[in-house]
A and B are shown apart, each in its own frame.
Chain A
């Protein structure tokens, strides 16, 4: 089983991720999760998410991966028991006290990348404590992964896409010093993306910033060496980002497994993946030691693109019209495409736009306004309309 594992910052993202092809999602509760700035899930929402996933034979993992202070331990056992009662598929943890509690409760444990595990002896140590699956440090090389798989016979979950810490995960407290927020308890302020002045001499500013991770090039190799779960980073990312990235990786993985993936497909998905994050990506540590090319050295502006134009919310069968909630400006004459769960991209040129009251309009300029487009077929719930930027047939 090759698992595509998606991040979900809230219930909507969870549903989107599963619909767009994730086999499992990882989520955080209001407490004990390392992404305190994500919306996250109440216990009721966790239960809803688990039920939603299980109804379609998919899985939910809950992060309980902060470094625990004594004050944080007070209610955590009750919390874990509740997760157990909801039939959570596993928890993701790094602190040994949580690993022990989860084992006692009979909850499957995934060791978080926060535990900085890069060698087979460390894996065997945690395995003896009952850990079933491991998220290796993102510094693991291809050879590290092969040897750990061979010597330890454990499930491996590897990051394949998204932001990278400059630090070895779990080994950074820059936020603690510079913002007072505890990076190992969910308060990371991404200080490694700041620009520092040299104070020992006049010189060019110093930056630490890593480019993002993108493992498209090595996905087939990773499948062949036995990686079990392919993890996308980004519990704080938008629904459009989640949908796009998960759909691309779903198609790539399926194409590899079905032996139908072409070079042209791969290049197309790489273009889409690069554009959606608007950050440079590289494979980082997998095949070579990262040098200057794997880092940013300029103070960069992250201007998010406005490709996501709207979400399909319904279909008017009588008038054959798609009903769309607007997300970014578009107008008559724009060439767009629809993406959605279990469908190929559909290219569409906007010839007419109707507002909610069926009046003709020239542009859709207001966020969340309801508009209608003439369209011959129904599209699945959560299909999205985006600006067409790349043409698989002409651009590649």
Chain B
């Protein structure tokens, strides 16, 4: 568990997670994250004496990147940053912290990952690919990459406030998050000021991927109670989970598409 990077919902959870041997904690940075209900200010993070990593998973506009630059000046007790927006690469270049690129839905091949490794210390491999593809990638670039192994997978990120628009249009009271379904597929929908995330349900459980030689294994604990999280990590949970695309990849082309 010493290679696990796990997002924190509550500071009190750290002690319980340390008992499992986890010692690196990811703090969703307030005003720079989407799809996460519990975020932390930089001063709160600086006061935690652990291996602290920042999570910045927003796609940033100009104003957002300016504000992040200011926020990063306050860093005191941070070991690394995990981020989705490529505009962050230039602004963290000279910071003495570990940089981990988590470009959602990209980084599905060795060559792209290798290029990004010229700019960052680790890259999170896409969750949209099969286990055999993951195996091929991590064995080609051993001990440098990060695998997403547990948590809800973002299946859509909209800049729009979809719940807000829905309740305003129908003149309803607002719930956030909500759960929606169509053709037996369920999604957890959560929004904040910076956009709306649809997480696919059930939870993704790829803990078995921890057998592969990676630098880190990333766990997103958003919308999971600490009890459920611990039982999942101990492999004692009865919670329904799935393996996303690990066993059955997506179809690139149907036979006959484009005559070719």
Assembled-state Cα–Cα distance A181/B254 (Å): 9
Assembled-state Cα–Cα distance A12/B186 (Å): 41
Assembled-state Cα–Cα distance A206/B105 (Å): 25
Is A96 a contact of B112 with CB atoms below 8 Å? Answer: yes
Is B156 a contact of A172 with CB atoms below 8 Å? Answer: yes
The 8 Å CB contact of B65, one of A39, A121, A181, is A121
- Return the chain A residue nearest B115 by Cβ: A96
Q: Which of A247-255, A267-275, A289-297 contacts B (4 or more CB under 8 A)?
A: A289-297
Q: Assess A199 versus B181: contact at CB under 8 Å? Given A70-B110, A141-B61, A297-B169.
A: yes
B residues in contact with A186, CB < 8 Å: 252-253
Assembled-state Cα–Cα distance A177/B127 (Å): 12
Interface set, chain B 104-126, CB cutoff 8 A to A: 104-106, 108-112, 115-116, 126
What's the count of A-B pairs with C-beta under 8 Å? 219
Assembled-state Cα–Cα distance A70/B134 (Å): 10
- Return the chain B residue nearest A29 by Cβ: B258
B residues in contact with A314, CB < 8 Å: none
B residues in contact with A167, CB < 8 Å: 156-158
A187 interface residue, CB < 8 Å from B?
yes
B residues in contact with A198, CB < 8 Å: 178-180
Is A171 a contact of B156 with CB atoms below 8 Å? Answer: yes
Is B62 a contact of A119 with CB atoms below 8 Å? Answer: yes
Interface set, chain A 27-41, CB cutoff 8 A to B: 30-31, 36-37, 39-40
Is B115 a contact of A173 with CB atoms below 8 Å? Answer: no
Q: Assess A118 versus B109: contact at CB under 8 Å? Given A124-B90, A126-B86, A178-B182.
A: no
Assembled-state Cα–Cα distance A324/B155 (Å): 48
Assembled-state Cα–Cα distance A116/B64 (Å): 14
Assembled-state Cα–Cα distance A181/B255 (Å): 12
Assembled-state Cα–Cα distance A182/B250 (Å): 5
B198 interface residue, CB < 8 Å from A?
yes
- Return the chain B residue nearest A209 by Cβ: B162
CB distance from A219 to the nearest CB of B (A): 22
Q: Assess A121 versus B157: contact at CB under 8 Å? Given A181-B250, A194-B182, A199-B179.
A: no
CB distance from B111 to the nearest CB of A (A): 4
Is B65 a contact of A119 with CB atoms below 8 Å? Answer: yes
Assembled-state Cα–Cα distance A21/B166 (Å): 40
Q: Assess A69 versus B166: contact at CB under 8 Å? Given A96-B115, A118-B60.
A: no
A256 interface residue, CB < 8 Å from B?
no
CB distance from B256 to the nearest CB of A (A): 11
B89 interface residue, CB < 8 Å from A?
yes
CB distance from A35 to the nearest CB of B (A): 10
B residues in contact with A173, CB < 8 Å: 105, 128, 153, 155-156
Is B179 a contact of A40 with CB atoms below 8 Å? Answer: no
B26 interface residue, CB < 8 Å from A?
no
Is A166 a contact of B156 with CB atoms below 8 Å? Answer: yes
A residues in contact with B136, CB < 8 Å: 70
The 8 Å CB contact of B250, one of A122, A176, A199, A203, is A176
Interface set, chain A 20-75, CB cutoff 8 A to B: 30-31, 36-37, 39-40, 42, 66-73
Is A168 a contact of B159 with CB atoms below 8 Å? Answer: yes
B170 interface residue, CB < 8 Å from A?
yes
Assembled-state Cα–Cα distance A284/B165 (Å): 14
Interface set, chain A 123-144, CB cutoff 8 A to B: 123-126, 137, 139-141, 143-144
B189 interface residue, CB < 8 Å from A?
yes
B residues in contact with A285, CB < 8 Å: 159
Is B250 a contact of A125 with CB atoms below 8 Å? Answer: no
Is A168 a contact of B157 with CB atoms below 8 Å? Answer: yes
Assembled-state Cα–Cα distance A292/B129 (Å): 35
Known A-B contacts: A119-B61, A166-B158, A176-B155. Give 16 more (CB < 8 A): A31-B258, A67-B105, A96-B112, A97-B112, A97-B115, A100-B111, A124-B90, A143-B62, A168-B59, A171-B59, A171-B157, A174-B198, A181-B251, A185-B252, A291-B164, A295-B169
23 cross-chain CB contacts under 8 A = A66-B252, A118-B61, A119-B64, A121-B65, A139-B59, A139-B159, A147-B62, A166-B158, A171-B157, A172-B155, A172-B156, A173-B105, A174-B155, A176-B245, A180-B250, A182-B250, A186-B253, A187-B251, A199-B180, A203-B172, A206-B189, A295-B169, A297-B169
- Which 5 residue pairs of A and B lie closest in terms of their CB atoms, listed nearest first? A122-B87, A121-B87, A182-B250, A196-B180, A171-B157
Q: Give the A-binding residues of B (Cβ under 8 A).
A: 59-62, 64-65, 85-91, 104-106, 108-112, 115-116, 126, 128-129, 133, 136-137, 153-162, 164-166, 168-170, 172, 175, 178-183, 185-187, 189, 195, 198, 200, 245, 248, 250-254, 257-260
